[in-house]
Amino acid sequence: MQQQTIRHPVQCSGVGLHSGKMVTLSLRPAEADSGINFYVFTPAGLQRIAMEPSRVIATGLATTIGSSQASVSTVEHLLAAVRGLGIDNLRIDVHGGELPIMDGSAAPFVMLLKSAGLRRLNADRRVLRLKKAVSYGQGDKSISAEPYNGFFVDYTIDFAHPLIGVQRLAMEVTPQAFSQIAKARTFGFLHEVEALYARGLALGGSLDNSVVLDEHGVVNEGGLRCPDEFVRHKLLDFVGDMAMIDLPLQGRFTVRCSGHALNNQFLRVLNDNRDLYLEEAVLSRPGAKAPAAAQAPAAGAPGLGEGRALAV
């Protein structure tokens, strides 16, 4: 399987969730093995932010990456689209400190990337494959993962709200299947939204870019895009959060009630213990002889019970 980038540079503008101001995003093709990189314009010059779990510096309102000198907010839905479509290498230039929130889903970014066209590069795809089962959790939130030849997510949410309750979605995340979750919008509760506004936060937040719930149901006039839009969006966020590492991750993930913060903590555990949990594999093109690591079957991998519980 070959690495991919985009064919042509593309750009889009929209409202930033934090600032409420117009912000601009440019996407450019990037060479093989360069990965996904953000570039931020600062008074000190152009700063690069690479995909590394420790570069996530805030997960409150949205995922923010970088440093106190140069940061980008609200990266998760674009990253989900990039990983969902199987793009290995991309340069992302950001003006304004955050990405546009668009409609609160990944669908506008999928459209943007597809309008740029995808281009195969003359290099085999490299992935990070889980080689040992691992579980991580805090309270009722947990992520369990086991070796798997692909990226499979089984996600369950449980909200004490009449419209949400328990929702579960399990899927192999492929470019084709990604369309099932791309349109799912971010959601929040009215009392939380009002508290954010009162603190001068989420100035760009509106019913145009999020599903807002009161105690009875959806405030948005148009309602939901699908009854399980909530779990679809959480799975989308998970795909974006797992993109904050240098290569596409492979494994089978069972996720319960997680969020950006726990997702990032889990990814840090994997990255900080790379020798224990991860191995790099090359997905060779059909007909080419695959290196041993790429052919290692997932069979015989330890079950979840044998995974080391790193936090409970």
3-state secondary structure at position 270:
helix
Residue recorded with tokens 């059909």 = 286
CB of 105 to Zn ion, least distance (A): 8
> 18, 77, 233, 260: which one is catalytic?
260
Choose between 107 and 281: whose C-beta lies nearer to Zn ion.
Answer: 107
Residues near Zn ion (CB under 5 A) are 186, 237
Query: What is the C-alpha to C-alpha distance for residues 58 and 241, in angstroms, rounded to an integer?
Result: 12
Query: What is the C-alpha to C-alpha distance for residues 261 and 240, in angstroms, rounded to an integer?
Result: 13
CB of 155 to Zn ion, least distance (A): 13
**Residues 59, 141: contact at Cβ < 8 Å?**
no
| Contacts of residue 79, Cβ cutoff 8 Å, sequence gap at least 6 | 36, 239, 240, 241, 243, 244
Choose between 259 and 291: whose C-beta lies nearer to Zn ion.
Answer: 259
Choose between 133 and 213: whose C-beta lies nearer to Zn ion.
Answer: 213
Query: What is the C-alpha to C-alpha distance for residues 97 and 82, in angstroms, rounded to an integer?
Result: 19
Residue recorded with tokens 């596409």 = 248
Choose between 98 and 237: whose C-beta lies nearer to Zn ion.
Answer: 237
C-alpha distances in angstroms, 211 versus 104, 217, 310? 8, 10, 34
Choose between 77 and 125: whose C-beta lies nearer to Zn ion.
Answer: 77
Query: What is the C-alpha to C-alpha distance for residues 12 and 87, in angstroms, rounded to an integer?
Result: 18
CB of 259 to Zn ion, least distance (A): 10
CB of 211 to Zn ion, least distance (A): 11
Whether 260 is catalytic is: yes
Chain-centre distance for alpha carbon 113 = 15
Residues carrying an active site annotation:
260
